[in-house]
Structure 1
Amino acid sequence: MEFQNILSEKNQGILQITVNRPSKLNALNKATIHELHEAFWAAGGDEDVKVIILTGSGEKAFVAGADISEFSDYSSEEGKALAAQGQEKLFNYIANFPKPVIAAINGFALGGGLELALAAHFRIASENAKMGLPEVSLGVIPGYGGTQRLPQLVGKGRAMEMIMTAGMIDANQALQYNLVNHVTSQEELLEFAEKLAGKIMKNSLVAIKSAIKAVNANYEDGVNGFETEIEEFGRCFGTADFEEGTSAFLNKRKADFPGE
């Protein structure tokens, strides 16, 4: 599959997807959102892909926001459709993706870029990272899940402050806010992400898929997360991975999960 705006590279179970528009600080446009969806869709059906690392090209930006020139003249209805389509095609798609997604934030992650990182299952950042939701400075609000996912991670008050001031926070403040899990040097960012991916891949990816579903259920309106947990817990008992994992534990050996 050929892409114009992203790079996709697979190595030993890890798929690195890189937003590659360095001249635009990797800003998201419609074409990039479509290509990201296509890359994730393909990864979902690729048995060789176990974990995805999502990052941006160059040293300046993860994704420095949306490409404002594409929607500066939109009507209210067009704006509503833009948010709905983007959330369905990419941001919600990533948040509910059945394989682990790690956002490796290098440089600016602003607006839609931060929302892209928020959609990942967890985030790590380089020391030079800057994060924020500046939309209100343009007379609009975050439309790709930022008003929902940011409070879940940092709390309502901090999210309100970030959104209302349209300001940026640095990597260390993001770590204090629980917005990111780890901070590394820029040189070590991807290597650290790969190490985390390696730890993940030692475990049952079938069980991890169930864990993603159960954790996400807690944040869905009208869904009882405890019931989803019970359902997924029971489902795990019928898998070959459960049989292998328990057998390995009882026989004091390392598990070799079949992924079934």
Structure 2
Amino acid sequence: MKSAFRMNNFDLLRLLAATQAAGCRTHLRCEHAADAPVRFVYRERMTVDASLPVCGLRVERGVGWVRIDHPPKHLVDGAFMGALVAVLDRAERDTAVHVLVFESADPDFFMMHGDVEGIMRMPHNPDPATEPNLAEAIFERVRRFPKPTIGMIDGHARGGGSEFLSALDMRFAGPRTVLGQPEVPMGILPGAGGTQFLARLVGRARALEIILGGGDVYADEAAAIGYVNRVVPSAELRSFVATLAERIAAWPPEAVQAAKRAIDAGIYAAEPQFITETNEFRSLINARGHIAPMQRFLDAGGQTREGETTRMDAIIDAMRNPDMARPAD
């Protein structure tokens, strides 16, 4: 089926969620004219997806537990976005949900990152952005979600996975946690809100160190700089998060949500500059030779489970500009 329509980003994300729930794979082409709203042309190819739901929700003691199960790599991709929008819609409507906790079914990855191969296939777009891109829109919705949100992590979350975590209200980490933003070594930048969210968590200088350095941030350092709230032993992590979430869920929801809004009004007195982030991302994607650094990342073992759990430092090192001399040890 082929159809054309106009919609904003949130409507499009709801379309993705609906088509995924119906077993559809949705293919989208973006069209727009200078004096008209963005128009998305899509076609659906009906397929049966026998995999587990990407984001399952269960409610216990006022806490909505969202279990992310997106094998084989836990990529932040269209399927994840659609499922996330669906679970946000459900949790926002459900009056039994007072706090939302996100956890991973994968012992190694909370979320890996965006699909680098998909980014490499992105078409050039010379036109300046007039609204946030889809990833920014959904993660900004996560940030603005009226009920408190918590991330429980004891594995890897880089790139888009880190950006998603940074959009949550609180993050509690086990000792196996590894965070990072490896986009700049790949010749791009964090394009899902990372340049905006991370600086508010850790400050400008630390955000520059993390984003420009491209290296990993381990659990204890992440807690020390505010990337996560605190580190909790793995065996105690679930109990700790459940106790806090249930405690918050026991208070009057109007007071909880009002307090969250008041805090955000100060922290986010200036709105996140997503359009700047999107335009900078587009300029890098449009540049000649932009594919080469991302291909080096894949060739070195990036976007593989083994590579990203055991030798990410070597993978990042392999992405150095070949024209630049290596620094002295």
Structure-1-length-normalised TM-score: 0.79
Alignment equivalent of 2:253, drawn from 205, 209, 233: 205
Q: What residue number does 1:15 align with? A: 64
* Matching of residue 5 in structure 1 with residue 66 in structure 2: no
SS at match of 2:125: helix
* Structure 2 residue 101 is matched with structure 1 residue 77: no
Q: 1:82 to 1:4 in 2, by over 3 A?
A: farther
Q: How far apart are the structure 1 equivalents of 2:143 and 2:265? A: 11
Give 2:209's aligned residue: 161
Structure 1 vs Structure 2: percent identity of aligned residues? 29
Provide the residue aligned with 1:111 in structure 2.
159
Amino acid in the other structure paired with 2:236? E
3-state SS in 1 of match to 2:80: helix
Q: Which range moves more in the overlay, 5-14 or 175-184?
A: 5-14
Long gaps (5+) in structure 1: 224-260
Greater shift, 70-79 or 3-12, is seen at 70-79
Query: Which residue number corresponds to residue 38 of structure 1?
Result: 86
1:138 counterpart = 2:186: yes
Cα separation, 1, equivalents of 2:139 and 2:263: 17
| Pairs aligned (count) | 221
Q: Which has the larger radius of gyration?
A: 2
1:190 aligns with 2:238: yes
**Which deviations, in whole Å up to 9, do the C-alpha atoms of 1:18-76 show, x marking residues without a partner?**
2212420x111111111101101110000011111012212101111112222212134
In the alignment, which of 158, 165, 176 is matched to residue 128 of structure 1? 176
Aligned position for 1:241:
none
- Of 5-14 and 71-80, deviating more is 71-80
| CA deviation profile, 1:135-187 (whole Å, cap 9, x unmatched) | 11211100111111111111111110100011111000001001111211223
Residue in structure 2 matched with residue 148 of structure 1 by the alignment:
196
User: CA-atom RMSD, angstroms?
Assistant: 2.3
Structure 2 unmatched runs, 5+: 1-17, 22-51, 273-329
Q: Name the SS for the 1:4 alignment partner.
A: coil
2:109 to 44, 61, 81: 61
Counterpart CA distance in 2 for 1:208 and 1:72 is 42
Give the residue type in structure 2 aligned to 1:202: A
Q: What is the DSSP-based 3-state SS (H/G/I as helix, E as strand, rest coil) of the residue aligned with 1:43?
A: helix
- Partners in 2 of 1:69 and 1:220 — Cα distance? 36
Amino acid across the alignment from 2:96: D
Is the contact made by 1:55 and 1:106 (CA closer than 8 Å) also made in structure 2? no
Between 213-222 and 10-19, report the one with greater CA deviation.
Answer: 213-222
Structure 2 letter corresponding to 1:7: G
1:252 aligned residue: none
> Which amino acid is the alignment partner of residue 216 of structure 1?
D
CA contact 1:83–1:144 (8 Å) conserved in 2: no
User: Are the counterparts in 2 of residues 17 and 52 from structure 1 also a CA contact under 8 Å?
Assistant: yes
Distance in 1 of aligned mates of 2:59 and 2:174: 22
Residue type of the alignment partner of 2:93? G
Query: In the TM superposition, what whole-angstrom CA distance separates every residue of 1:197-255 from its partner, at most 9, and x where no partner exists?
Result: 012122221111112222222214279xxxxxxxxxxxxxxxxxxxxxxxxxxxxxxxx
> 2:109·2:155 contact (CA, 8 Å) conserved in 1?
yes
1:51 equivalent in alignment to 2:99: yes
- Counterpart amino acid of residue 177 in structure 1: I
Mapped partners of 2:191, 2:136: distance in 1 = 8
